[in-house]
Structure 1
Amino acid sequence: MTGRSSNLHLALWIAATGLSYGEIARRIAAEAKAQGHRQIAPDATRVRRWIDGERPRPPGPRWIASSSRC
Structure 2
Amino acid sequence: MPSEPVPDSPPQSGESAFCYWFHICGFSKKGLAAAVTERARLVGLPHVRPDGSRVRGWLGGEQPREPVPQL
Question: Shift in Å at residue 8 of structure 1?
Answer: 2.2
Which letter maps to 1:62?
Q
Q: Distance in 2 between matches of 1:15 and 1:33?
A: 24
- Where structure 2 has 5 or more consecutive residues not aligned to the other structure, the ranges are 1-13
Moved >6 Å (runs of 4+): none
Aligned length in residues: 58
TM-score (ref. length: structure 2): 0.73
Question: Shift in Å at residue 61 of structure 1?
Answer: 0.8
* Structure having greater relative contact order (Cα 8 Å, sep ≥ 6): 1
- Where structure 1 has 5 or more consecutive residues not aligned to the other structure, the ranges are 1-5, 64-70
- Equivalent positions of 1:1-70 (< 5 A) are 8-63=16-71
Q: Distance in 1 between matches of 2:56 and 2:19?
A: 9
SS at match of 2:37: helix
Contact 1:7 1:52 in 2 (8 A): no
Larger Rg: 2
Q: Distance in 2 between matches of 1:18 and 1:54?
A: 20
Identity of aligned residues (%): 31
Deviations 1:21-65 (A, max 9, x none): 1111000000001111111100111001011111111221121xx
